[in-house]
Amino acid sequence: MTISLDQSDGVEIIRLEGDVDLTNAALVREAVAATTADSVVLDLSAVTFLDSMAISTLDGGHRRLASEARSLVVVSPPETPSAWTLRVTGLSGNVCESLDEALVAVAVRYSGQPTR
């Protein structure tokens, strides 16, 4: 698995590629923990596999950032392995289909504008 970091208009973006599992979930947890922005986007578009530890890590990331009044938005296009896993586990809330959609959702959330 590879992790890359980027920023867009004050939003930190963590992109994952490959399998996310027991062997590397701690790296994802550390990447999320190292963020400082109010909004973090975790892009799973190129993820090929998520195991139960990866799901636990995503849930923990949501909880951690929420406890700090920050948000974690996940990107998982509909026909990807990550989207299937998120649907099956019931963690498909707060998931966007594209990075552009996630950035718009974050901008709307922090601008005080109502969402549709």
All structural domains of the chain, each given as residue ranges with its CATH number in brackets, are 2-111 (3.30.750.24)
Pick the more confident residue, 108 or 106.
106
Is the Cα dihedral 80, 82, 83, 87 positive or negative? positive
Residue 85 CA to residue 57 CA, distance in Å, equals: 14
Is the Cα dihedral 69, 57, 9, 6 positive or negative? positive
Q: What is the pLDDT of residues 23-77, one digit of tens each?
A: 999 999 999 999 999 999 999 999 999 999 999 999 999 999 999 999 999 999 9
Do 72 and 44 contact (CB within 8 A), yes or no? no
Give the mean model confidence (pLDDT) for residues 6-27: 96
Phi, psi of 101 (to 5 degrees): -60, -40
Split at pLDDT 50, 70, 90, the class of 88 is confident
Q: What is the pLDDT of residue 92?
A: 67
Q: Tell me how many degrees the CA angle 68-106-100 measures, rounded to the nearest 5.
A: 140
Residue 57 CA to residue 18 CA, distance in Å, equals: 16
pTM, entire model? 0.90
